[in-house]
Amino acid sequence: MAKIELDPWEREPLWLKALTPILKARRFPELPADPERGTWYRFYPDGGVGANGEPAFADIRLGTEDKLLVFFCGGGVSLDEYTAARPASMYMRGKEGFFLTRLDLFGDFVVRNGILDDLPDNPFRNWTKVVITYATGDFHVGTKDFPYTAMDGSSRVLHHRGYLNYRAVMTEVQKWIPSPESLVVAGCSGGAWGAALLADDVIGHFPECPRIVCCADSALGLKDDWHRIATDVWGAPDEIVARLQSEDMVSDSLVALAQAHGDRVRCLYASSVRDSGLARMQNYLDGKGLVFTQEAGGKLERDIAGMAARLMSDIPGVGLYMFDAPDPGQKGLGLTKHCVIGDKGFHRIRVDGKTARDWIWDAVNGDVRSYGLSLLTG
């Protein structure tokens, strides 16, 4: 395991220090040799590390059906030395935070909502579910240690090991479900980038699986040098980097996936039209700061429309789910909700009378459709 590298100016807030024993007691139990079906467990893949060297972990719940959901978690991105030095953490004092670190206390909470929940009306409740947590800042595709200068002036190393962590997780998963009859590869936010970038790799672990869906929820960031970042900053595998041909790596990856697998894979993309989280990140990518603005929302609306047009043109039978639910945390800016499939909105939000839950479930069963296209005004 890599040496844990915490910034010397990190400190645990008093309120979190008081809650730490309670939160530790609520962590999932570690995966035993003979796990019970229907119970969530945590496991630590061999050699897995987060950005600062802390052990990486994943969550798994073995289902009663021979079907598998692989879910990539989100949590920002590290693009260069500036962003590497500014992780997003409740332990940090800085105002800017670009990628999550230190998931030990809260990483298991993601399974409580959306496509991962165990509610009776979730059609995926009896599937085997694997949650690949994220604290590497590389959209799950890194293999590289990246040197940078921390804000205190010290020389540090960020472990972009997302791809190595993911591969170690899949080695464990294959022990429990070696040949599923259905496979869904999905993710929200940074995990949606991961799902798009790694769906082809996941499929390679299950060459006999006849029914596959890839769903990327809330991922769009336009930047003209993703190819360089994926190579020089993250050390992504060559086959992933080769697909990155434009400023939109998600579209590049989904189009390549459809071209490689044809009708065997059903490609889905979901987003709100002025997604607050994506608008804020695009604002930063455009050199305007990591801030929420109404103008950024308007630009994103046009960018989303352009992305949707490309996907519909280049992927026959693609399914889109565009929605317009307001973000209550950004009142007055006209920005909309970030993510839907990993959220309670999975069951509640309706577009053209259809929930995201039923949209994905229909696609699993061969009925791929698009909803909310009238919202695209770009």
Task: Give the CATH number of the domain where residue 70 resides.
Answer: 3.40.50
Is there a domain that residue 9 lies in? no
Is there a domain that residue 4 lies in? no
Q: Are 239 and 213 in contact (CB under 8 A)?
A: no
Residue 78 is predicted with a pLDDT of 97
Q: Are 123 and 347 in contact (CB under 8 A)?
A: no
Length of the chain: 378
Is there a domain that residue 5 lies in? no
How many domains does one find in the chain?
1
Q: pTM, whole model, 2 decimals? A: 0.95
Q: Return the number of other C-beta atoms located less than 10 Å from residue 26's C-beta.
A: 11
Residue 323 is predicted with a pLDDT of 98
What is the separation, in whole angstroms, between the first and last Cα of the chain? 48
Residue 110 is predicted with a pLDDT of 87
Residue 104 is predicted with a pLDDT of 83
Task: Describe the strand order of the beta sheet including 58-61 as a list of residue ranges.
Answer: 40-43, 58-61, 128-132, 67-72, 182-188, 211-217, 265-272, 319-323
Distance (Å, rounded) from C-alpha 356 to C-alpha 345? 8
Distance (Å, rounded) from C-alpha 244 to C-alpha 224? 10
Nearest C-alpha neighbor of 183 from the set 121, 258, 128, 125: 128
Q: Which domain holds residue 92?
A: 14-375
Per-residue pLDDT of the chain (378 residues; tens, 9 = 90+): 566 666 655 666 776 778 777 778 788 999 999 999 999 999 999 999 999 999 999 999 999 999 999 999 999 999 999 999 999 876 665 568 899 988 887 788 888 899 999 999 999 999 999 999 999 999 999 999 999 998 888 999 999 999 999 999 999 999 999 999 999 999 999 999 999 999 999 999 999 999 999 999 999 999 999 999 999 999 999 999 999 999 999 999 999 999 999 999 999 999 999 999 999 999 999 999 999 999 999 999 999 999 999 999 999 999 999 999 999 999 899 999 999 999 999 999 999 999 999 999 999 999 999 999 999 985
Return the CA Rg of the chain: 19
Q: 276-285 vs 294-314: helix axis angle to the nearest 10?
A: 100
